[in-house]
Amino acid sequence: MASKSVQTLSSVDPSSVKPQESCRVCKAKNLVTYFDFGLMPLANRNLSLSQLDLKEPVFPLQLLFCKTCGLSQLSLVVAPEVLYQGYTYHSSVSQTFQQHCREIVSTLKQHLDLKPKGLVVEIASNDGCLLSKFAESGFQVIGVEPAKELASLTQAQGFTTFCQFWGPGVAVEIQRQFGKVDLVIGTNVMAHVDDLDEFLGAVNSILGPEGHLVFEVPYMANYIEQLEFDTTYHEHLSYFLLSPLKRVLEANGFCIIDVQRLKIHGGSIRVICGKKSAAHAVSASVEALLTFERDMGLLEEDIYLKFAARIHHLRDRLRLLLSSLKQKSKHIAAYGASAKGNILLNYCGIGKETIDYIIDDTPQKQGKFQSGTHIPIVDSSRMLKERPDYLLILAWNFTEELMNKTAKYYQTGGNYIVPIPEVKVLNSSSPL
Ligand SMILES: [Zn+2]
């Protein structure tokens, strides 16, 4: 196996990073490091053949815990211009996410008193998956998406899309052109935000008095419980519990009126907020989740130190399993050239000597190479032709979907390795 090959790559360019010296939410300097991945490449970046010989940027990846408010956060903020260059995650590729978008629209229509044809702004609208579902339900929709390639996909569907990062500038522009907004929504965006006060302040400024902010973030309780350490990457600056979220939302004029736990992305929460200045009925779910976090010890350092020890154990177990399979000359491929797969392989020091190729259904990723490990990314025809003995499932949050897609492989004796939350081998004689 590649032993820590990422550690020998280029050092960090100081102009592209900013250390996190105080907590993003409460501003205290009460931060302790509880996990260090070492130097890691950018997880969402895949390389073309001609880029393989170039110096590849790597950055420290460390998790800090704020002992004052309980927010987990990265020790370093990589400049967005560096981070989001060549961003390739497409929401619509996943059927699970398509279904999730439909559920969001129907749930919000039921729970919130949304005006027919109301104005909905989606922050980080990606390829327009959720926007299209709102549009189908009769809402007026506006996207905000900084990645040019993705923004052009939503523009091509006829949706007004501002190709920039969310902030006061774009909020002013939307208000000038369209007036006050009824709903601002963001799925998987808050974790990416460095200045939460500026971000939320801009949302507050464009919402009408009865408007709502709804967002979804991966939930730290699931992250700890299910050992989802591979969702730690440079784009994810914060790892949220409801408790620190409540603090930052209230500081910016919002009040949480409901919270729902979701299965998506390994466990997330949907947080529904209104303006503090309006009257709201607050669901009992809010206090219940805050109590759960206290009772589980999620606001104390100890659980994070134990989490770190569990990650070390998982890495050792996965490396041992793969090296014993290689000793038996088994062929191993992986499925899902996801950011989390990138972190898992790079952190565990598993490279081309172990994994022959990674299958991915996103056409833009095929023919490229994973950053750090340089494992080739291919389409599924290669797997059908070569039938690897084992398939390591890197996009474990879509395990069911991937198993359905590769059902024939499985039924005819193929083996899956599911790495998280614990290393498991699945085959038709020992199913899930
Ligand atoms: Zn804090």
Cα of 235 to ligand 1 centre, how many Å? 19
Cα of 26 to ligand 1 centre, how many Å? 4
Cα of 247 to ligand 1 centre, how many Å? 9
Mean pLDDT of 390-412: 87
Both 196 and 95 in one domain: the answer is yes
271 domain residue, yes or no: yes
Q: What is the DSSP letter of 219?
A: B
Note the pLDDT of residue 416.
94
pLDDT in tens, 147-163: 888 899 999 999 999 99
The DSSP bridge partners found for residue 418 are 424
Both 116 and 236 in one domain: the answer is yes
Q: Measure the CA angle with vertex 109, ends 190 and 136; round to 5°.
A: 90
232 domain residue, yes or no: yes
Classified as helix, coil or strand, 120 is strand
The DSSP bridge partners found for residue 121 are 142, 184
Per the prediction, the chain carries an average pLDDT of 91
34 domain residue, yes or no: no
Mean pLDDT of 307-319: 96
Q: What is the DSSP letter of 192?
A: G
pLDDT in tens, 324-376: 999 999 999 999 998 999 999 999 999 999 999 999 988 989 999 999 999 99
Cα of 132 to ligand 1 centre, how many Å? 37
Both 290 and 154 in one domain: the answer is yes
Cα of 121 to ligand 1 centre, how many Å? 29
Cα of 248 to ligand 1 centre, how many Å? 10
Cα of 283 to ligand 1 centre, how many Å? 25
Is pLDDT at 164 greater than 50 in this prediction?
Answer: yes
Cα of 201 to ligand 1 centre, how many Å? 19
384 domain residue, yes or no: yes
pLDDT band with cut points at 50, 70 and 90 for residue 432: low
Note the pLDDT of residue 7.
36
pLDDT band with cut points at 50, 70 and 90 for residue 249: very high
Note the pLDDT of residue 272.
97
39 domain residue, yes or no: no
Is pLDDT at 18 greater than 70 in this prediction?
Answer: yes
* Tokens found for residue 247: 């603090």
In angstroms, the CA 248 to CA 12 distance is 31
Cα of 244 to ligand 1 centre, how many Å? 7
CB 64 within 8 A of CB 124: no
Cα of 70 to ligand 1 centre, how many Å? 6
Mean pLDDT of 203-227: 96
Note the pLDDT of residue 399.
81
Both 253 and 359 in one domain: the answer is no
Both 355 and 291 in one domain: the answer is no
pLDDT band with cut points at 50, 70 and 90 for residue 3: very low
Lowest mean pLDDT among 159-168, 314-323, 389-398: 389-398
Both 290 and 360 in one domain: the answer is no
Both 273 and 339 in one domain: the answer is no
Both 257 and 341 in one domain: the answer is no
Spell 123-142 as b/e; 16+ CB within 10 A means b.
bbbbbbbbbbbbbebebbbb
Is pLDDT at 313 greater than 70 in this prediction?
Answer: yes
Cα of 333 to ligand 1 centre, how many Å? 41
Both 204 and 352 in one domain: the answer is no
pLDDT band with cut points at 50, 70 and 90 for residue 88: low
Is pLDDT at 2 greater than 60 in this prediction?
Answer: no
In angstroms, the CA 69 to CA 28 distance is 8
Mean pLDDT of 55-61: 91
Cα of 230 to ligand 1 centre, how many Å? 23
Q: Where are the beta strands (DSSP E) in 188-326?
A: 207-218, 238-239, 254-262, 268-275
Note the pLDDT of residue 8.
34
Find where tokens 């939460």 sit.
196
Positive/negative CA dihedral, 89, 94, 96, 97 = positive
333 domain residue, yes or no: yes
Both 245 and 393 in one domain: the answer is no
- pTM, two decimals, is 0.89
Angle between helices 95-111 and 129-136 (to 10 degrees): 40
pLDDT band with cut points at 50, 70 and 90 for residue 91: low
Cα of 23 to ligand 1 centre, how many Å? 5
Mean pLDDT of 21-41: 96
Cα of 72 to ligand 1 centre, how many Å? 8
Cα of 22 to ligand 1 centre, how many Å? 8
Cα of 33 to ligand 1 centre, how many Å? 13
Cα of 31 to ligand 1 centre, how many Å? 8
Q: What is the CATH number of the domain that holds 338?
A: 3.40.50.720
CB 406 within 8 A of CB 214: no
Cα of 239 to ligand 1 centre, how many Å? 12
Note the pLDDT of residue 11.
52
Domain with 246, as residue range(s), is 91-300
Cα of 326 to ligand 1 centre, how many Å? 45
Domain total of the chain? 2
Cα of 24 to ligand 1 centre, how many Å? 6
How far are the Cα atoms of 183, 229, 310, 424, 431 from residue 307, in angstroms, in the given order? 37, 9, 5, 19, 27
Find where tokens 């004689």 sit.
429
Cα of 295 to ligand 1 centre, how many Å? 19
Q: Terminus-to-terminus CA distance in the chain, angstroms?
A: 28
Both 254 and 178 in one domain: the answer is yes
